[in-house]
Amino acid sequence: MFLRCGKVKLDLSQPKIMGIVNVTPDSFSDGGKHLSHQAAIIHAYRLIEEGANILDIGGESTRPGAAIVSEQEELDRVIPVIEGLQNIYVPISIDTYKPAVMRAALAAGASMVNDINALQESEALVVLAKSDAAVCLMHKQGSPQNMQQSPQYIDVMDEVTTFLRLRLQACVAAGIALDRLVIDPGFGFGKTLEHNFEILRNLNEFIELGIPVLAGLSRKSMLGQVTGQAVEHRQAASVAAALIAVQRGARILRVHDVRETVDALKVWQAVNERILEK
């Protein structure tokens, strides 16, 4: 199984790691954005060194209740970072739901779009159809501002699967080939603790859609709820969750802690390889 990201064909026969690069505004906002861009670029290089296979660059926090960032502000945050990463060999993913940001990021060198809105914004399908970039289609219920108020499903697996199938069909109808698409159930996006763990338990069911599955569990509140740990102490829980996702068929893991997740995957791979040797 391969994922086409522009010129790069990403081999997903072994699970791959997407490292998270947040471009957050620096606290010296009077002095322009140079420092936060520089910090994001340095962090990106570190994640590559640690073994990241994709970098996910985001300029708007999509954590529950986070403030909305204007299109121009988001562009000002992410485009200089993408431009500053011209020489890297790993594909760059742009984390955005705004079509104008997608277009500018792809022009600046990104070869994947990670859209928590699954290309439902008008023009998003058109922007991607005109490109050769990969796309991650994520499920959410509600908007990041209200999604955790009272998530409700009759059957969460059924609803998420149906939504992702419809978005896959919309992408194919718009001219985006299947080998450019990834699906993601969207852990924490309009889901209760029970919903999130039901999805993780049954993650293998998404494989039937025939498209690689991406899982984003890193540091999320579902892990805080079961461990009692604050966000800065969820590394072990995140690695455990990532490994469970891989065992249930996830092909891409979106993580903050790249080095630790790489090691966990090496243990998993050693177990699998040694089955074949016997």
**Binding of residue 261 to ligand 8Y4 (CB under 6 A):** no
**Binding of residue 74 to ligand 8Y4 (CB under 6 A):** no
SS (H, E, C) 29-45: HHHCCHHHHHHHHHHHH
- In the bound state with ligand 8Y4, the residue whose beta carbon lies nearer, of 36 and 196, is 196
Q: Which stretch binds ligand 8Y4 (CB under 6 A): 77-85, 154-162, 203-211, 213-221?
A: 213-221
CA atoms within 13 A on the CB side of 188: 18
Q: Confirm whether 254 is a catalytic residue.
A: yes
Q: 221-260 mask for ligand 8Y4 (x: CB under 6 A)?
A: ----------x----------------------x------
Backbone angles phi and psi of 130, in degrees to 5: -80, -5
Size of the site for ligand 8Y4 (CB under 6 A): 17
Whether 94 and 114 have beta carbons less than 8 Å apart is answered as yes
- In the bound state with ligand 8Y4, the residue whose beta carbon lies nearer, of 114 and 131, is 114
Q: Which stretch binds ligand 8Y4 (CB under 6 A): 29-37, 56-64, 171-179, 242-250?
A: 56-64
Q: Confirm whether 33 is a catalytic residue.
A: no
Give the Cα separation of 176 and 211 in Å (integer).
13
**Binding of residue 136 to ligand 8Y4 (CB under 6 A):** yes
Q: Which residue of 216, 241, 246, 265 would you call a contact of ligand 8Y4, by CB under 6 A?
A: 216
Rg for the chain, CA atoms, rounded: 18
Give the Cα separation of 149 and 129 in Å (integer).
34
Residues with Cβ within 8 Å of 256's Cβ and at least 6 positions away in sequence, in order, are 19, 20, 218, 219, 238
**Binding of residue 116 to ligand 8Y4 (CB under 6 A):** yes
Whether 20 and 58 have beta carbons less than 8 Å apart is answered as yes
Catalytic positions, please? 220, 254
Applying CB under 6 A, which residues contact ligand 8Y4? 58, 62-63, 95, 114, 116, 136, 138, 184, 186-187, 214, 216, 219-220, 231, 254
